[in-house]
Chains A and B, each alone.
Chain A
Amino acid sequence: MTIILPPSPPLAPPLSAPMPESVFALTLALLLIAPLAIAGVALINAGLGRSRSAAQALLGNLAIVAVTAVVFALAGATLAGAVPGTPGSAGHAFQLAGKSWNWIGSGPFLMSGFGAAPLQTQLALIFELLSAALAALLPWGSGADRWRLAAGLATAAVTAAIVFPLLTHWIWGGGWLAQLGMNYSLGAGFLDPGGAATVHVLGGLSALAVVWIAGPRRGKFPKEGLSTAVPGHNAAYVLFGCLLALTGWLAWNAAGAVLWLHAPVAALPETILNTWLSAAGAILATFTVTRIRFGKPDASLCANGWLAGLVTSSACAALVTPGQALFAGLVAGIFTPLLVELLELALSIDDPSGAIAVHAAAGFWGLFAAGMFAPQKGQLVAQLVGIATLLGLVLPLEYLLFWLLDRVVPFRVDPDGERIGMDLHELGGGAYPEFVIHRDESYR
Chain B
Amino acid sequence: MKYAGLLLMPAGFFLSMAALILFLAPAPRAAFVLSGLAVEGLGLAVAVRGHMPARGDRRP
Chain A residues near B (Cβ < 8 Å): 96-97, 180, 184, 212, 215-216, 221, 223-224, 347-349, 377-378, 380-381, 384-385, 387-389, 391-393, 395-396, 399-400
| Complex alpha-carbon distance, A349 and B43, angstroms | 17
Min CB distance, A241 to chain B, in Å? Answer: 28
| Contact residues in B for A400 (Cβ distance below 8 Å) | 6
Query: Total A-B pairs in contact (CB under 8 Å)?
Result: 78
Sample 22 A-B pairs with CB under 8 A, ordered by A number: A180-B20, A184-B20, A215-B53, A221-B53, A223-B59, A224-B56, A347-B52, A348-B55, A377-B26, A381-B29, A384-B34, A387-B37, A388-B33, A388-B36, A391-B9, A391-B41, A392-B10, A392-B12, A395-B44, A396-B6, A399-B6, A400-B6
Q: Interface on chain A toward B: helix, strand, loop, or mixed SS?
A: helix
A385, B10: Cβ atoms under 8 Å? no
In the bound complex, residues from chain A placing their C-beta under 8 Å from that of B21 are 96-97
Contacts of A399 in B (CB 8 A): 6
Mark B24-60 against chain A: 1 for CB-CB distance below 8 A, else 0: 0010011001101100110110011001110110010
Interface pair A388/B37, CB less than 8 Å apart: yes
Of A387, A391, A392, A393, which is in contact with the most chain B CB atoms at under 10 Å from its CB? A392
The closest CB in chain B to the CB of A348 belongs to B52
Main secondary structure of the interface of B (DSSP, over half): helix
Q: CA separation between A393 and B59, bound complex, in Å?
A: 32
Residues A388 and B40 in contact in the complex (CB < 8 Å), given A97-B21, A381-B30:
yes
A39 vs B56: C-alpha distance when bound (angstroms): 41
What's the tally of chain B residues with a CB closer than 8 Å to chain A? 32
State whether A212 touches B56 (Cβ < 8 A): no
Minimum CB–CB distance for B4 against chain A, Å: 12
Within 8 A of A (CB), among B8-26: 9-14, 16-17, 20-21, 26
Complexed CA–CA distance, A224 and B56 (Å): 5
| Also in contact, A384 and B30, with CB within 8 A (given A221-B53, A399-B6) | yes
Please indicate the chain A residues that have their CB under 8 angstroms from the CB of B29 in the complex. Answer: 381
Cβ A391 vs Cβ B37 within 8 A: yes
Chain B contacts for A395, CB-based, 8 A: 6, 9, 44
Contact yes or no, A396 B53, CB < 8 A:
no
Give Cα A112–Cα B40 distance, bound, in whole angstroms: 40
Are A391 and B51 in contact, CB atoms less than 8 angstroms apart? no
Contact A385 B53 (CB under 8 A): no
Q: How far is the CA of A307 from the CA of B59 in the complex (A)?
A: 36
Please report the C-alpha to C-alpha distance between residue A84 and residue B37 in the assembled complex, in whole angstroms: 29
Given contact pairs A212-B47, A215-B53, A388-B13, a sample of 18 additional A-B residue pairs in the complex whose CB atoms are under 8 Å apart:
A96-B21, A184-B20, A221-B55, A223-B55, A347-B48, A381-B26, A384-B30, A384-B37, A388-B12, A388-B33, A388-B36, A391-B9, A392-B9, A392-B11, A392-B14, A395-B9, A396-B6, A396-B10
A96 to B48, CA, bound (A): 34
Residue in B16, B47, B55 whose beta carbon sits within 8 Å of that of A388 in the complex: B16
What are the residues of chain B within 8 A of A387 when measuring CB–CB?
37
A contact residues around B6 at 8 Å (CB): 395-396, 399-400
